[in-house]
Amino acid sequence: MSNATRIRPRFQYKSSMKLSEILSFLKKDIQVSDEVEAEYMQHHVYLRIPEKDLHYWSPELHLTIDEQEEDTLVRGVIGPKPKVWTMFMFFYSGVIVLFMFGSAIGVSQWMLGLDAPWLWSMPASTLMGLGIFIAAKIGQRLGKAQMQTLIDLVDGVLDRGENKTRVM
């Protein structure tokens, strides 16, 4: 999880436990805990922070649990709520479009010897992209304690098995 440029950190574990055991332990731990809520859909689990502790930057953990021949692969992706994630992707896309079209128009005007005010879209969109990235990192830092709570819950469940190996 230490990669500082990751916007949505990912992890993978291999466990000796079966899918049903992992889900059973998760359900037991979540019933006891008042810090995490869960939604189960077959071999997918969505871990969220309860409404009472929720804020704009609260993370969600999406687990995919796949049984393989010898072990079970548990993959996790931590990120913001889907609405927040979609908003950030929309902003990033808008900045990229502004940079591409603005620079194409600006360079064309400049090469034709005309005034080229569109060239300002290049540094402006770069600064906006940097601002969006910084906002995302600030949000990640604000949700770090809650993210650690979600990860600790999963680690606690997987530590009950005989063998747990981090894949990535």
Q: Which has more confidence, 35 or 111?
A: 111
Give the residue-averaged pLDDT of 133-146.
Answer: 91
Q: Please check whether residue 72 is in contact with residue 66, taking contact to mean a CB–CB distance below 8 angstroms.
A: yes
Q: What is the pLDDT of residue 98?
A: 97
Give the residue-averaged pLDDT of 121-149.
Answer: 93
What is each CA distance from 69 to 15, 42, 57, 95, 99, in whole angstroms? Answer: 12, 18, 38, 45, 48
pLDDT at 157 over 90: no
Asked if 55 and 104 sit in the same domain, the reply is no
The pair of structure tokens assigned to 32 is 């006891």
Q: What is the pLDDT of residues 47-87, one digit of tens each?
A: 999 999 889 899 999 999 999 888 889 999 998 888 998 99
16 in a structural domain: yes
- Residue 18 lies in domain: 10-80+144-154
Could you tell me where the beta strands, DSSP code E, fall in 4-163?
Answer: 10-15, 37-41, 44-48, 59-67, 72-80
pTM here is: 0.76
Q: What is the pLDDT of residue 7?
A: 65
What is the rounded distance in angstroms from the CA atom of residue 27 to the CA atom of residue 119?
56
165 in a structural domain: no
Asked if 66 and 114 sit in the same domain, the reply is no
What is the rounded distance in angstroms from the CA atom of residue 27 to the CA atom of residue 23?
6
Domain total in the chain: 2
Asked if 101 and 45 sit in the same domain, the reply is no
Q: Which has more confidence, 160 or 3?
A: 160
Q: How far is residue 46 CA from its own chain's centroid?
A: 12
